[in-house]
């Protein structure tokens, strides 16, 4: 599964989950992590949708395509509870506290996406998913945190961590909660002129997270 584009796609992120999503979508790409001062980019921005798009755009700019050879993709995902941003846990105790606060409640997951075309023009967008968290027992939270899985994730959890069953249901894009909504990402790639070998459609929108989502993508060959 390869893309038709003759130009490289650069992923300006060190997230293994975003890389896995692109890989499973059949795209050829190169990982080039961006070093961005997130606090400086977000300073003074009260609108979270604009903030995550600004941060995704900053990641694209930090990587800096060579102008004629590369498309660059950047993304940033945040978890919002009670109008507060929950970032990655700073410690195991912090992760436990986050998971306890999320328990039994709804929260928003918002991902900002940015794509730079071959001329350096950047197009941005965002996707929001509403997630209802399960009420996890103290022992489940302890086991989950001890596994190490929550420690590198915004909000301290992964919707894909099915062994710990953190999510009761969600309304929106499943892959957005994982870290890269392909439904909107492919739109931006197309707008920017990146050619796709096949149509890519997210599956698993607005369903219960009960194991019914077997595959995150639906593919259709693009012969045009």
Please provide the average confidence, as pLDDT, over all residues in the chain: 85
Residue 76 scores a pLDDT above 90: yes
Coil/strand/helix, residue 47: coil
Neighbouring C-beta atoms of residue 120, cutoff 10 Å? 15
Residue 5: per-residue pLDDT: 60
Q: Provide the CB-side half-sphere exposure for 126 (13 A, CA).
A: 21
Percent of the chain with pLDDT over 70: 83
What is the residue extent of each domain of the chain?
A: 8-197
Tens of pLDDT, residues 20-37: 999 988 899 999 999 887
* pLDDT greater at residue 129 or residue 69: 129
Catalytic residues: 76
Tens of pLDDT, residues 142-199: 999 999 999 999 999 999 898 999 999 999 899 999 999 998 999 999 999 998 877 7
Give mean pLDDT, residues 81-95.
93
Top CATH class of 8-197 equals alpha beta
Residue 87: per-residue pLDDT: 86
Kindly report the three-state secondary structure assignment for every residue of 136-203.
Answer: CCHHHHHHHHHCCHHHHCHHHCCCCCCCCCCEEEEECEHHHHHCCCHHHHHHHHHHCCCCCCEEEEEC
Residue 25: per-residue pLDDT: 86
| Residue 103 burial (10 A CB sphere; 0-12, 13-18, 19+) | middle
Among the listed residues 191, 136, 125, the one whose alpha carbon sits nearest the alpha carbon of residue 164: 136
Alpha carbons 209 and 219: distance in angstroms, whole number: 22
* Structural tokens at position 156: 């301290």
> What is the secondary structure of 58-97 as a DSSP string?
HHHHHH---SSSEEEEEEEEEEEETTEEE-S-SSHHHHHH
How far, in whole angstroms, is CA 161 from its chain's centroid? 15
Alpha carbons 129 and 80: distance in angstroms, whole number: 10
């Amino acid at each position: 599964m390869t893309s038709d584009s003759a130009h490289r796609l650069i992923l300006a992120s060190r997230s293994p989950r975003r890389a896995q999503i692109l890989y499973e979508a059949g795209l050829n790409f190169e990982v080039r992590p961006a070093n961005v001062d997130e606090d400086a980019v977000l300073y003074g921005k009260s609108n979270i949708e604009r903030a995550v798009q600004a941060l995704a755009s900053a990641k694209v700019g930090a990587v800096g395509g060579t102008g004629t050879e590369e498309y660059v993709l950047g993304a940033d995902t945040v978890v919002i509870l009670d109008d507060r941003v929950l970032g990655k846990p700073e410690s195991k105790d912090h992760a436990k506290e986050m998971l306890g606060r999320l328990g039994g409640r709804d929260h928003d997951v918002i991902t900002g996406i940015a794509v730079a075309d071959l001329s350096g023009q950047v197009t941005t967008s965002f996707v929001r998913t509403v997630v209802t968290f399960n009420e996890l027992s103290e022992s489940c939270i302890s086991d989950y945190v001890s596994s190490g899985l929550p420690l590198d994730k915004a909000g301290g959890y992964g919707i894909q961590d099915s062994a710990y069953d953190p999510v009761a249901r969600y309304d929106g894009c499943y892959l957005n909660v994982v870290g890269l909504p392909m439904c909107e990402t492919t739109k931006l790639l197309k707008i920017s002129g990146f050619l796709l070998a096949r149509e890519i459609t997210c599956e698993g929108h607005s369903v219960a997270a009960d194991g019914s989502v077997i595959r995150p993508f639906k593919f259709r060959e693009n012969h045009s």
